[in-house]
Structure 1
Amino acid sequence: MSKLQLSIAVGPYDRMRPLVDGEVQIDGVDPIFMLQEPEEIFFRAFRHADYDICELSLSSYSVKTAAGTSPYIAVPVFPSRAFRHTSIYVRTDRGINSPEDLKGKRIGVPEYQLTANVWVRLFLEQEYGVRPSDVTWIRGGYEDAGRVEKITLKLPDGVRLENAPEGRTISGLLESGEIDAVIGPRAPSCFDRGHPQVKYLFDDPQATAAAWYRRTRLFPIMHTLGIKRELTEQHPWLPGALTKAFEKSKALALARLTDTSATKITLPFVEEQLRAARQLMGHDFWSYGFAENEHVLNRFLVQHHKEGLSSRQLEAKELFHPASLESFKI
């Protein structure tokens, strides 16, 4: 019997390389991998369902799942996770010295419903009492004025969301001082260029995030892995096969990261960073699987619904194919 030839779109991460290079096989599948940036994958997935299997924005996927309109069903593989205390950039001339100082300010976002932004609003409200209704949100492309929301939004009363002026970018507005801050998954180019009046909100984002993790045990999930629903109906073994292969690929990448006799990535002090991550978060700090991450997913979904992004309160297990919720042990 010939293998299924399936298109798989993911980012170019170390945890994907063993799969992309063919070292790790997916049972019954002949994959065609496409390594693309998240913005392209999500746009094509949610507008046209272009791929058989792909990385999905957790927020956009939750919107679609709650509405019953997602062409994809996920497995508990999480290609992207990140602490987002590095995602808040502020002007230094606006008196913003603490998160509470964001109240009353104008904050730019590339899209309101981006997963990173949901997580930032979660900890701003939970830790510092800054609610979404306390600021004015300005929506637009970071560097391209033509960017639009992928998902139609219906926000709660009191949340003010405006579009950036036509032809203007979020980075340009921050650089010129027409907005006070930016929240998003990438640094605006004016920050990368070292603009003297643009800085991180937190003086030490890594230490702030580590302290938050100790209190909450939340390592934010950004993306999950989706399969076209029709494929899982035709091939019920596919979700389990994917979960197993992606877990194996990640384990191999971590084993190589651990071997520092000849460092595998172009960065000094890798062993110190790896040791610190495991001391803080445990050996399997980048865990896949449902049981290991149910508390993280539920916290996100509560915030997501509270913000009016998902039309109903989802349970974490609703996001995933039933066959992927449990794994076998040897």
Structure 2
Amino acid sequence: MDQLTLGFISAYNERVEPFMNGTIKVDGVELIPTYSHPAETFWRQLKFGEFEVAEMSMSSFLIARSQGADMIALPAFPSRRLFQTELSYHLDSGITKPEDLGGKKLGVAEYQQTAALWIRGILEHDFGVSQYKIHWYMERSEEMSHGGATGFKPPEGISFSRIDRSKSLKSTLMAHELDVAHVSSPWVRQANTLDRSSRIGGDDLSKIRPLFPDRMAEGARFYRKHGFLPVNHAYIIRGDIHRQHPWLAAKLYDGFVRAKALANQKLTEQIPTALMFGQEYTAKTRELIGEDPFPFGIKANRAMLDMITGFSCEQGLTPRKMKIEELFAESTLDT
């Protein structure tokens, strides 16, 4: 079989890095890696379809597929986070707990991003705060956003505004122009062409507090209730490549599985020595959320997929609840 050369774009991720750097190989396939900030990756792929294989926002993928976008996903989920624990509020907002967010101004980088989808769903279903009772503010501009590539329009009944281009989530929260904002994402400090918070901010954090002071406690609560951690991204294959090479999806999925297994084997070796109690923290994390909090495959993720597709439809991002069979490559449906 001739060698198939594929462009592969992704952020650095320890569970995927063995695949990106060539330690894990797939017979008959040569991957040409491009490392990129997720926000830029998704925008480029949604707008231009540049790469044959790409990391992709789960929420934007659901929207794009509902519109007939020519891409198919693999059930390899490199990124999971407890997005509600990344919210911070201003002390003068009168907020002391999640249930206080009704009637408040809440800022996110992008309304349709996966983080915002999970935040809305969790606030509504776990804390009783309706998405329609919150005033939503978005940092990204229309032209430089994932929504700009998918034709985003604010869902009916939602209070929606954009943050002035001279400002950012961080600066508006510090000035108490927002009551609460998603400013603790691990990506927010990394410069990219879509987000402004890495460039426009401030240093006075004296009145900024985390909505969940004990992130581990909230993470344990969510995991006990739902049995999974919320997925952020997946990997997609461009549709033309998938049709030309129907064997490819299963091969790539196997590569992702092997890469994650190798990364897990080396997990304890990767704990920075500066973290004096890193070993203990790792053990505590495993105690709270299990040995493998990043499961791949359909079977292990069915409850999560049911929830995220339900949230997407419920929030008016997709016109109907998308089916697993129309999202993932057929050869991966039994994984």
For normalisation by structure 1, the TM-score amounts to 0.91
Q: Secondary structure at the match of 1:285?
A: coil
User: How many Å separate the matches in 2 of 1:228 and 1:145?
Assistant: 25
Q: Which amino acid in the other structure matches residue 31 of structure 1?
A: L
Q: Which amino acid in the other structure matches residue 212 of structure 2?
A: F
Q: Deviations over 1:70-121 (max 9, x none)?
A: 2310010001111113221110111100112111111112110110111111
1:236 equivalenced with 2:246 (yes/no): yes
User: How many Å separate the matches in 2 of 1:52 and 1:268?
Assistant: 42
**Alignment check: 8 A CA contact 1:110 1:147 kept:** no
User: How many Å separate the matches in 1 of 2:74 and 2:242?
Assistant: 11
- The equivalent residue for 2:151 is 152
Q: Secondary structure at the match of 1:51?
A: coil
Shift of residue 274, structure 1, vs aligned partner: 2.8
- The equivalent residue for 2:318 is 310
- The equivalent residue for 2:48 is 48
Q: Could you tell me the percent identity over the aligned residues?
A: 30
Shift of residue 175, structure 1, vs aligned partner: 1.7
- The equivalent residue for 2:209 is 199
**Alignment check: 8 A CA contact 1:85 1:206 kept:** no
Q: Secondary structure at the match of 1:93?
A: helix
Q: Which amino acid in the other structure matches residue 325 of structure 2?
A: K
Q: Secondary structure at the match of 2:284?
A: helix
User: How many Å separate the matches in 2 of 1:264 and 1:156?
Assistant: 44
Any gaps of 5 or more consecutive residues in structure 2?
189-196
Shift of residue 155, structure 1, vs aligned partner: 4.0
Distance 1:265 1:288, change over 3 A: farther
Which of 287, 300, 322 aligns to 1:292? It is: 300
1:29 equivalenced with 2:29 (yes/no): yes
Could you tell which deviates more after superposition, 270-279 or 23-32? 270-279
User: How many Å separate the matches in 2 of 1:310 and 1:154?
Assistant: 11
Any gaps of 5 or more consecutive residues in structure 1?
none
User: How many Å separate the matches in 2 of 1:47 and 1:108?
Assistant: 24
Shift of residue 194, structure 1, vs aligned partner: 5.4
**Alignment check: 8 A CA contact 1:257 1:264 kept:** no
Which of 225, 228, 250 aligns to 1:218? It is: 228
Q: RMSD between aligned alpha carbons?
A: 2.2
1:58 equivalenced with 2:68 (yes/no): no
1:56-205 to 2 correspondence within 5 Å? 56-68=56-68, 70-141=69-140, 147-148=144-145, 149-150=147-148, 151-183=150-182, 185=185, 186=187, 193=203, 195-205=205-215
1:274-293 to 2 correspondence within 5 Å? 274-293=282-301
Q: Which amino acid in the other structure matches residue 182 of structure 1?
A: A
User: How many Å separate the matches in 1 of 2:201 and 2:208?
Assistant: 6
Q: Which amino acid in the other structure matches residue 91 of structure 1?
A: H
User: How many Å separate the matches in 2 of 1:206 and 1:192?
Assistant: 27
Distance 1:228 1:33, change over 3 A: same
Q: Which amino acid in the other structure matches residue 66 of structure 2?
A: A
- The equivalent residue for 1:7 is 7
Distance 1:230 1:265, change over 3 A: farther
For normalisation by structure 2, the TM-score amounts to 0.89
Which of 254, 260, 264 aligns to 1:254? It is: 264
Q: Which amino acid in the other structure matches residue 195 of structure 1?
A: L
Shift of residue 128, structure 1, vs aligned partner: 1.4
Distance 1:46 1:268, change over 3 A: farther
**Alignment check: 8 A CA contact 2:118 2:230 kept:** yes
Q: Secondary structure at the match of 2:137?
A: strand
Q: Which amino acid in the other structure matches residue 249 of structure 2?
A: P
